[in-house]
Homo-oligomer: A and B are copies of this chain.
Amino acid sequence: MKKPIDASLCQQRAQYLWFSPLTTRWMDNDIYGHINNAHYYSYFDTIANTYLIRECGLNIQRDAVVAFVVQSQCTYLSPLVFPQTLDCGFRVNHIGNSSVTYGLALFQQHAEKASAYGSFTHVFVERESDRPHPIPDTIRQGLERVYFTSPS
């Protein structure tokens, strides 16, 4: 396990390298009137898979490798509510042989500070055997384009 990236490097819009809009839904709000914490993870895997499909050529119906989530986490800084469209920020925090860890954050539109940020790790496995498989080259190249280099 790599050392986690410091929280101060996760909360600003400028610290993310790719963005995608996300429309919230009526049912995302829970009984307390805020978006339920579990939905944040559905936003996170939506943006990561959107990047893999659109920018890395992943074919989720046919490719011989698929990506499984092995670890995820999220820090909630301020509540979000439906209705609004969010901006999801995306980057790669770490790339290994068969795994990749993404950094993600949710922003209200035009906000510079994130409402929540988190990370999750995909392990690429063979679709038929579930055995780990090196990240295919074209996907690796796509992931490297959004690799986050922390300022030193």
A positions within 8 Å CB-CB of B:
21-27, 29-34, 36-46, 49-50, 53-54, 60-61, 66, 68-76, 79, 82-83, 120, 127, 130
If the complex has contacts A33-B31, A72-B73, A75-B70, are A26 and B42 also in contact, measured as CB distance less than 8 A? yes
A30 CA to B39 CA, complexed, in Å: 13
Asked if B36 and A45 sit within 8 Å, CB to CB, the answer is yes
Q: Which of A22, A34, A83 has the most CB of B within 10 A?
A: A83
Chain B residues contacting A21 (CB-CB under 8 Å) are 23
* A50 x B83 contact (CB < 8 A): yes
Q: Which of B41, B50, B75 contacts A41 (CB 8 A)?
A: B41
- Minimum CB–CB distance from A29 to chain B (whole Å) comes to 4
Residues in B neighbouring A41, C-beta threshold 8 A = 37-38, 41
Identical chains in the assembly: 4
Q: A69 contacts which chain B residues (CB < 8 A)?
A: 37, 76
Chain B residues with CB below 8 A from A83, complex form: 46, 49-50, 53-54
Q: A83 vs B72: C-alpha distance in the bound complex, in angstroms?
A: 22
| Chain B residue at minimum C-beta to C-beta distance from A31 | B29
Is A70's CB under 8 angstroms from B76's CB?
Answer: yes
Shortest C-beta distance, A21 to chain B (Å), equals 6
Closest beta carbon of chain B to A86's beta carbon, Å? 9
Which residues of chain B are near A68, meaning CB under 8 Å? 32, 34, 76, 79
A29 to B26, CA, bound (A): 11
